A and B are shown apart, each in its own frame.
Chain A
Amino acid sequence: MTTTPAAETVPTAAALALGDDALVLSHRLGEWAGHAPVLEEEVALANIALDLLGQARVLLSTAGDEDQLAYLREERAFRNCQLVEQPNGDFAHTIARQLFFSTYQHLLHDRLASGDGPFAPLAGKAVKEAAYHRDHAEQWTLRLGDGTDESHGRMQRAVDALWRYTGELFQPVEGLDEVDWAALERTWLELVTDVLGRATLTVPEGPRIGAWSAGAGRQGLHTEPFGRMLAEMQHLHRSHPGATW
């Protein structure tokens, strides 16, 4: 882990926000193992999950002990956005979530990598991974949107269902002052609009802010499925206090 930023210079809030995003999405993708529609996707989804877990480990380690942070915090202390905690749903839901998140993550890491902030070294590595994740999500958005009537319908429903979690992505994260969030959001909208258009899908008209107020995940306000996800993730670790694995 040569890309670990020097701990003393890293804003903890930012490390937690970015680290929790990667941790939680990685976990969701891990749930696909053995369930993917085609063998190649078993490989691809696990590959993306592993990249994200690697990012999470670096980020959480800068904020403290990675396992303590992952396994011993309760729901209200997690700082991930609500988008990444959304259940996998069908393959279209997983792909829509990947499209929205990987486009965001690619733009964000690209910005951070070109700066001289503490996250630049990490972002430099993550940006390459995010580019691959984004390409994977875009290709599948095109295949599903511009595939059969059924896949088109499913992809549109997924895009519509997850749209309201995308506004939160652009609420400024404490400690990432170098990021122009409004510009990031404009670029994100352009890119996503372009992909959806090429996939013959409609950009949803609904609001881009979810059930809670803006930035809710970053403040530890999550959606109901998240608590259940954490219960499963943390159960074994919590059952053996102080043990090493």
Chain B
Amino acid sequence: MATAAARDTAGSPTVQETPAGLGDPAEFQRAFDAAVADDERIEPRDWMPDAYRATLVRQIAQHAHSEIIGMQPEANWITRAPSLRRKAILMAKVQDEAGHGLYLYSAAETLGVGRDELLDKLHSGRQKYSSIFNYPTLTWADVGAIGWLVDGAAITNQVPLCRCSYGPYARAMVRVCKEESFHQRQGYELLLALSKGTPEQHAMAQDAVDRWWWPSLMMFGPPDDESQHSAQSMAWKIKRHSNDELRQRFVDICVPQAESLGLTLPDPDLRWNEERGHYDFGAIDWSEFWEVLKGNGPCNEERLSRRRRAHEEGAWVREAAAAHAAKHRNDETGATRA
């Protein structure tokens, strides 16, 4: 959909056409602002502010990177899954994550960047991925905790993105959220089976929740007063809610779920606040968050090296595919081979 102002100004340059020196830049900005204000979707060929484009590239790329780095902690358990049913569920989930990575790279590419370029930035550490994936999966129950808490937090973050002002990102999120909700229920169900299983299984589930709870709360990002991108992203309607609002929403959802799982959350300050109508919860260790973000978490080095290694070791395969395609480019049309 083109922006409203573009359609309304027949005869003047539309927002799709932005040759330098043609039209008034302020006009494009006004059309963009009006479209955002009217909750219209910005599409790839529409004019958009450079900073809006750059913010989206950063956010969508990091979202894509998170999907593919996020395959690692879970793939860590594929070969050890304790039943064939669980193994099938986990394989399907890791496959979905690769698919989400593909949707998101495609969405990022509509903004004029290439997937290869974005992968380079990931591999060289110039673009980040979600800090949560720098935590290790130490037991089978971690697979459940990731599904319940990590995917739960991701969904809380991503559902509002389905209404994000940038169309391709919003549409990718609709598809991603459907599959993520499914994964989240499966994770919950995995933990439930453990919690109601043998004492050893119950202890395994509790231990996993104890280790994943606080890192999951950190997934919503720094507190509102320390979040550098938030105000602008909200003005552009890329974000719809503040980090702290989403974090509160997540806590409110999780507490009753933990109760029905028969598991506790590792926070002595967690209690219902009648006045606020929300759960109060304890202070997050932000020093840990910033350390993990800086690369000093438990698995930062391992995750990135493994991704780089997969890419480097696969270089000859990609080169072969390109060489084969070049040799046979004309096969279909019957033209002579190069």
Contacts and interface: CB of A to CB of B under 8 A. Distances in A.
Interface of A: 23, 27, 30-31, 33-43, 46-47, 49-50, 53-54, 56-57, 60, 66-67, 70-71, 90-91, 142-144, 146-148, 150-151, 154, 232-233, 235-237, 240, 242-245
B319 interface: yes
A42 B316 contact: no
B25 interface: no
Contacts of B78: 30-31, 33
Given A42-B95, A50-B95, A245-B193, A34 B314 contact: no
For chain B, what secondary structure do more than half of its interface residues adopt (helix, strand, loop), or is it mixed? helix
Most chain B beta carbons < 10 A, residue from A42, A57, A71: A42
Interface string B48-84: 0000000000000000000010011001001111111
A46 B91 contact: yes
Interface of B: 68, 71-72, 75, 78-88, 91-92, 94-95, 98-99, 101-102, 105, 140, 190, 193-194, 197-198, 200-201, 306-307, 309-311, 313-321, 323-325, 327-328
B161 to A, nearest CB: 21
A148 B87 contact: no
Most chain A beta-carbon neighbours within 10 Å: one of B94, B320, B328: B320
Given A33-B78, A56-B84, A148 B99 contact: no
Given A39-B98, A146-B324, A243-B201, A91 B317 contact: yes
A232 B327 contact: no
B200 A240 contact: yes
Contacts of A57: 84-85, 88
A39 B324 contact: no
Q: Which of A34, A56, A60, A235 has the most CB atoms of chain B within a 10 A radius of its CB?
A: A34
Nearest to B314: A37
Given A146-B324, A240-B200, A243-B201, A53 B87 contact: yes
Given A240-B82, A243-B200, 5 more contacts: A33-B71, A39-B101, A46-B91, A143-B320, A236-B140
Contact of B79 (A90, A148, A232): A232
A31 B79 contact: yes
Contact of A53 (B75, B91, B94, B140): B91
A183 B8 CA distance: 72
A90 B316 CA distance: 10
Given A35-B310, A53-B84, A143-B320, A30 B79 contact: yes
